[in-house]
Amino acid sequence: MDIGFIGLGIMGKPMAINLLKHGYMVRVRDINKEAECELEKLGALQYISVEEFVEKSNIIILMLPDSPNVENVVFGNNGLLNFLSPGKIIIDMSSINPDVSRKVGQLIGEKGCEFIDAPVSGGEPKAVDGTLSIMCGGKREVYNRVLPILKSVGTSVTWVGDIGSGNMCKLANQIIVAVNLAALAEALVFVRKSGGDPAKVFEAIRGGLAGSQVMDAKAPMMLSSNYVPGFRMELHVKDLKNALLAAKTVDMDLPLTDMVISMMKSLCQEGKEKYDHSALIQYYEEMK
Ligand code: NAD
């Protein structure tokens, strides 16, 4: 089974490495040629033209930043769509707007190919150790066919519904993570300003009802002011923007999401868009 993998960033690189470790033949592409070379040294097949890349790959996985990047790779000049022949499966693991997933899925379907949207949760550490959570949208039988591949990069793999459902689920995930992060930041700064020790409070509450994976992963980063991403603030803003857009289509307001995105945007305006999203605590630290 030959896999083509496009997008070798923080997440895509370790995911492609895990596919190699599971014995798949993997061809890689990225606009960053250094990332391609690094993967080729680890056993990935050498870069070829887009036409040959598509022809030789039974399955193509995308792990790109946002909807415009996916549209560019699929529909752009020299995009995948120009070269697809029936029977291929495209798995888009990027977190994008569910409406764009549906559009991409439809056009890929018109070429006689199958499409699954399969965004992930878990961040870089789980991408490295192959324990991502993966939420999938698409035909159930196509999901069953690609499940062994997805199990090579994740431990919790769930079929959620039709194309677009994976990204709808991911947006729900990102709303929950954002609001949790804000609550954590708010509480830790409250403790410090009240004369308490935030590290002791974290230790005391992490095993109780307030404890969460967000708390375990992000409180240590907040406490040590370590904002090396991980998950860049700008990507979380992108996800929350997509959530607000998607909510509009069902005539719903997302008041908590609105609040957190405005905090994150104000940090981005200060030049902190490449910081890990745990830097949200700086919004509270800077408050008068
Ligand atoms: P990233 O920016 O580190 O990586 C994206 C990669 O795509 C880069 O290497 C970039 O060069 C490449 N790329 C962009 N346009 C391209 C094109 N036209 N052709 C080929 N390559 C192209 O981003 P990431 O952190 O790896 O995130 C990827 C996706 O996963 C995003 O949608 C993000 O929201 C999602 N995600 C990230 C995390 C995380 O913790 N970083 C966690 C869960 C989900």
59 in helix, strand or coil?
strand
Q: Express each pLDDT in 100-130 by its tens digit.
A: 999 999 999 999 999 999 999 998 999 999 9
pLDDT of residue 1: 79
Q: Ligand 1 centre and the CA of 260: distance in Å?
A: 22
Candidates 88, 170, 218, 272; catalytic one: 170
State which of 6, 10, 28 you would mutate to test the pocket of ligand 1, scoring each by most atoms of that ligand within 8 A of its C-beta.
10
User: Per-residue pLDDT averaged across 45-55, rounded?
Assistant: 90
Please indicate whether residue 7, judged by its CB atom, sits closer than 6 Å to ligand 1: yes
Q: At what angle do helices 33-41 and 12-21 cross, to 10 degrees?
A: 20
Predicted local distance difference test score (pLDDT) of residue 232: 95
pLDDT of 46 reads 78
Asked if pLDDT for residue 288 goes beyond 80, the answer is no
Helix, strand, or coil (residue 132): strand
**172-217 per-position pLDDT tens digit:** 999 999 999 999 999 999 999 999 999 999 999 999 999 999 999 9
Calculate the alpha carbon distances from 11 to 44, 86, 102 in Å: 16, 29, 23
Provide mean pLDDT across the span 44-58.
91
pLDDT at 238 over 90: yes
Q: Which residues contact 59 (CB under 8 A, 6 or more apart)?
A: 1, 2, 3, 4, 88, 89, 90, 91, 146, 149
- For residue 254, is pLDDT > 80? yes
| pLDDT recorded at residue 80 | 97
Q: For residue 47, is pLDDT > 80?
A: no
Q: What is the pLDDT of residue 48?
A: 80
Q: What percent of the chain has pLDDT over 70?
A: 100
Q: Measured at the alpha carbon of residue 268, what is the angle toward residues 263 and 272, in degrees to the nearest 5?
A: 115
Could you tell me the pLDDT band of residue 150, with boundaries at 50, 70 and 90? very high
What does pLDDT average to over the chain? 97
CA distances from 19 to 24, 56, 223 (A): 6, 17, 35
Q: What percent of the chain has pLDDT over 90?
A: 97
The mean pLDDT value for 265-272 works out to 98
Atom of ligand 1 nearest to the CA of 123: 40
Does residue 248 have an active-site annotation? Answer: no
